[in-house]
Structure 1
Amino acid sequence: MAHILLIDDDAILRETFGGLMRRLGHTLDWAGSLEEGRLALVHGRTDVVLLDLRLPDGYGLDMMPEIRAAPGSPEVIIVTGQEDPEGAALAIKSGAWDYIQKPLTPHRVTLPLTRALEYRAQKAARRPRAVLKREAIVGVGPAMEACLDLVAQAADSDASVLIAGETGTGKELFARAIHVNSPRANNNFVVVDCAALPETLVESVLFGHVKGAFTGADRDRDGLFKLADGGTLFLDEIGELSPGIQKTFLRVLQDGRFRPVGSKNELQSDFRLVSATNRDLSAMAASGVFREDLLYRLRTIVITLPALRLRAEDIKPLAIHYMNRLCERYRLPTKGFSEEFFQALAAYTWPGNVRELCSTMERVLLQHRTEPVLYPKHLPDEIRIQVLKASAGCEPSGPAPAEGTEAGGVPPWKEFRRQALDEAERGYLRELLRASAGNVSRAARLSGLSPSRLYDLFRKYNMPTRP
């Protein structure tokens, strides 16, 4: 018997599905709003969530992180309407098991629900994931656990991997984790900075050359492809490749064969390919900027790293981890932290992600190396100012106190942080819409976010856009 949670404000649907679940041998809990759904997840055991996108108190996908973090990490089947053509794509991108389009019928629900429960049973029966070597990858939340599961899958194969994520999210760290946990760990991990490849010398850099191939070639030199033989080739920021270099890469990726500049003989390299990008390669391929055939070669396994603002539970352990490493490097005593210090870190939006957090910790340490305990006043001014502005913008405009507070008091920390993050996101999106004149494609290029993610955010804050 499975426990199913239906989050939908249609009371008639509740009665219909209650009978269906009983016939299938399952129990059904019903929630008519996001808030009721949160309570149901906390107070009961759930195997599968049927989640409507349109609810009285918000957008269903906003609840996905909480569902993943719920006990047992339930599978999610998204319920979309015919008037929401993007619902299916957003459901898949959010990590849902499946999606069903309204009107819901027992026939439409039974098969995906059965398959989700079968998958859940198979997943529970699998052997636990082997302990990964994950030095410098710090994270305890469900989003990072999902990424590490994909690292384990990738390390156990030779499939090409594409690691996507905003700048500073740790894409090279994850690429190295795949390498060191794979059978190729004892061979080279070769990094190719695609943004810095000179087009005039690309063949020499990648393929190598023989003595006398051109002026200054005074000896044979191996290229990066040959250095990666038996190991891993990491193409960093592959979205920056020019069309000419994309064609050069594709030729080698098809069969691993290449000819050094000036040589008559072909060489072969057996390397494992891992790529990384902070750009939407699918959108670039659709617009003709990136080769579709190359994209197909790159993304056998895709790992999308979450932005730091979306994994607030990891900010505190990350800050402690980097501060301890920095204290060791600079031979300084370990620092203590006030709880308010971590609260300020969690309220900041971290546009530079983990890289910015690490840099901030180093800046704090160097400027306040004699302080035994760190407080919010030790943070850089720009961070403190943003947090204060976000806090000021969240004050209620009416006389009634916010729910959960007393008159003249302050809101609970979780509510304050949520409001601060919402206000910061809303302000950023306003500026983005102004800069892009409301064009989502242009906004995606400016922000580095995918169009689907932007549509999700604009819908969340009820902001008008145009294609």
Structure 2
Amino acid sequence: MSTAQAHILLVDDDTDLLRLVTMRLTAAGHAVQAVASAEAALAHLAVKLPSLLITDVRLPGMDGLALFDEVRAHHPSLPVILLTAHGSIPDAVDATTRGAHAYLTKPFDGKELLAKVQQALRVNAPGPAPFDGDGAWRREIISRSPRMAQLLAEARLVAATDASVLISGESGTGKELLARAIHQASPRAAKPFVAVNCAAIPEALLESELFGHVKGAFTGAQGHRQGLIPAAHGGTVFLDEIGDMPLALQVKLLRVLQERVVRPVGSNEAVAVDVRVLSATHRDLELAMADGQFRPDLYYRLNVVKLMLPPLAERREDIALLAQHFLGTLAARHRKPVKGFAPDALEALVTAPWPGNARQLYNVVEQVCVLATAPLVPLAQVQRALQAPASEVLNYQHAKQRFERDYLNQLLKLTSGQVAEAARLADRNRTEFYRLMQKHGLDPQLFRDQGDPLADASDSGDRKPSAESGT
């Protein structure tokens, strides 16, 4: 990741060294503020937080170690590099165990200095300038990466319209957070935002949940109930995991989008609704259309504007920021005195692969927070959390899909592709069993030929899933 144009605060009472180091850092593309005392540094910190602090240990008045302690107390995520003479090496070593990023012994090599600076900035990369005023509309989205800045700029533009937006991206990338941000930036912000997870509601209940029902519409319908779409009247409805909506219900949703009316289950009367529809999916809907699992007419209605959330591994500038934000929130919730991460622990977080995206990061941070016994989370604790089985990455719906597919696969193997016999063993009728096979891309003929469709199937329910802070 780029670390150019980082703002570095440099503190040393040696004017010649200040001049030399400033020249080196400026030549490397950084903006440098050089001061001669810790007191002056604190004054600058009160006005603007830099990307990195470099300070000499021996200073007149308040020394560099006291300055470091002040920074650690009030800005725990700010990396600090100490400059030390031979006599103060033990103090510098002690400071690194308490969270200083590194120390350099005078006289030091210029290349070594730049290497340490690059390493420190890698976990605290400077972000882009604000592009949206106070940013209140997207306050739940913690980010400073250029890629996210571009996405949020597009989201802000589309928010001003009533266009339908399809948000795509891996699970755990924050699709619902982005949908909420679009709602907050829209003229509908004062009206309801209603989120519906189409994959989490049983198919038999989804129509009633979306559209509502009247008394006596089905067994157990003891009164009238307003649906989630009518409940969002005047505001925004967010249909999460739209790719898992049954085909029969897709037709009815399309009618709602076209006619702007909802017909509750069991009712002969239509109810007018004024809602903006945002939707999201981790699935490849174009592939689902080709497989006959998603209606093209509904797809084009929903996909007026498409926004793609990048996985966390493609926005590594945000990892340290998110980790520190999560840690602050979780430390308060669990009443733990932890303040931040040791530099090598933060480096481990930034370089981890994160298949589960922000939700996996949140779970890792929660684990280390709960087990923390010191103000700084050490590397060993982060490594243990990263190596732990990531069961949280596989959410309930994905686990259910994987079990269902494996179960069908085993039944068809057992019966050599005889669907009637497989359906009997599963205690399901053949029509339902055929529908389940179609859902998971299983062809009974392949089992009669002793093939193994599981190895080549491309159903998105069996792709490596991940989890989210947001959705």
Q: Does the Cα contact within 8 Å between 2:324 and 2:340 map onto a contact in 1?
A: no
Q: Does the Cα contact within 8 Å between 2:142 and 2:321 map onto a contact in 1?
A: yes
Please list the CA deviations of residues 127-186 of structure 1 after superposition, one character each: whole Å capped at 9, or x if unmatched: 964543222211111111011112201211111011111110011111111111211111
Residues 198/337 of structure 1: CA separation in 2 closer, same or farther (3 Å cut):
closer
Partner in structure 2 of residue 350 of structure 1: 354
Please list the CA deviations of residues 219-245 of structure 1 after superposition, one character each: whole Å capped at 9, or x if unmatched: 221111110110110001111112112
Post-superposition shift, 1:215? 3.4
Residues 437/230 of structure 1: CA separation in 2 closer, same or farther (3 Å cut):
closer
Partner in structure 2 of residue 364 of structure 1: 368
Please list the CA deviations of residues 194-226 of structure 1 after superposition, one character each: whole Å capped at 9, or x if unmatched: 112333233322221222333333322111111
Q: Does the Cα contact within 8 Å between 1:207 and 1:258 map onto a contact in 2?
A: yes
**What SS does structure 2 have at the residue aligned with 1:169?**
coil
Q: Which runs of 5+ in 2 are unaligned?
A: 1-27, 30-129, 390-451, 466-471
Task: Verify: 1:184 aligned to 2:188, yes or no.
Answer: yes
- The separation in 2 between residues aligned to 1:373 and 1:256, in whole angstroms, is 54
Partner in structure 2 of residue 374 of structure 1: 377
In terms of mean alpha carbon deviation, does 290-299 or 215-224 score higher? 215-224
**What SS does structure 2 have at the residue aligned with 1:174?**
helix
Task: Verify: 1:447 aligned to 2:466, yes or no.
Answer: no
Of the two structures, which has the highest relative contact order with CA contacts closer than 8 Å and spacing of 6 or more? 2
Please list the CA deviations of residues 31-89 of structure 1 after superposition, one character each: whole Å capped at 9, or x if unmatched: xxxxxxxxxxx99xxxxxxxxxxxxxxxxxxxxxxxxxxxxxxxxxxxxxxxxxxxxxx
Residues 136/343 of structure 1: CA separation in 2 closer, same or farther (3 Å cut):
same
Residues 348/436 of structure 1: CA separation in 2 closer, same or farther (3 Å cut):
farther
Matched to 1:381, the amino acid is R
Task: Verify: 1:315 aligned to 2:319, yes or no.
Answer: yes
TM-score by length of 1: 0.55
- The separation in 2 between residues aligned to 1:229 and 1:189, in whole angstroms, is 9
Match of 1:225 among 196, 207, 229: 229
Alignment of 1:162-177 (within 5 A): 162-177=166-181
Match of 1:283 among 275, 283, 287: 287
Post-superposition shift, 1:385? 8.6
Please list the CA deviations of residues 300-326 of structure 1 after superposition, one character each: whole Å capped at 9, or x if unmatched: 111111101111111100100100111
**What SS does structure 2 have at the residue aligned with 1:196?**
coil
Partner in structure 2 of residue 328 of structure 1: 332
Partner in structure 1 of residue 437 of structure 2: none
Post-superposition shift, 1:338? 1.4
Task: Give percent identity, aligned residues only.
Answer: 44
| Residues paired across the two proteins, number | 275
TM-score by length of 2: 0.54
Q: Does the Cα contact within 8 Å between 2:327 and 2:340 map onto a contact in 1?
A: no
Partner in structure 2 of residue 295 of structure 1: 299
Partner in structure 2 of residue 245 of structure 1: 249
Please list the CA deviations of residues 232-261 of structure 1 after superposition, one character each: whole Å capped at 9, or x if unmatched: 100011111121121121111112112222
Task: Verify: 1:260 aligned to 2:264, yes or no.
Answer: yes
> CA RMSD for the aligned pairs?
2.7
Please list the CA deviations of residues 415-441 of structure 1 after superposition, one character each: whole Å capped at 9, or x if unmatched: xxxxxxxxxxxxxxxxxxxx99996x7
Matched to 1:333, the amino acid is P
Residues 436/314 of structure 1: CA separation in 2 closer, same or farther (3 Å cut):
farther
Q: Does the Cα contact within 8 Å between 2:367 and 2:385 map onto a contact in 1?
A: no
**What SS does structure 1 have at the residue aligned with 2:167?**
strand
- The separation in 1 between residues aligned to 2:461 and 2:221, in whole angstroms, is 40
Q: Does the Cα contact within 8 Å between 2:170 and 2:282 map onto a contact in 1?
A: yes
Alignment of 1:27-106 (within 5 A): none
Q: Does the Cα contact within 8 Å between 1:199 and 1:245 map onto a contact in 2?
A: no
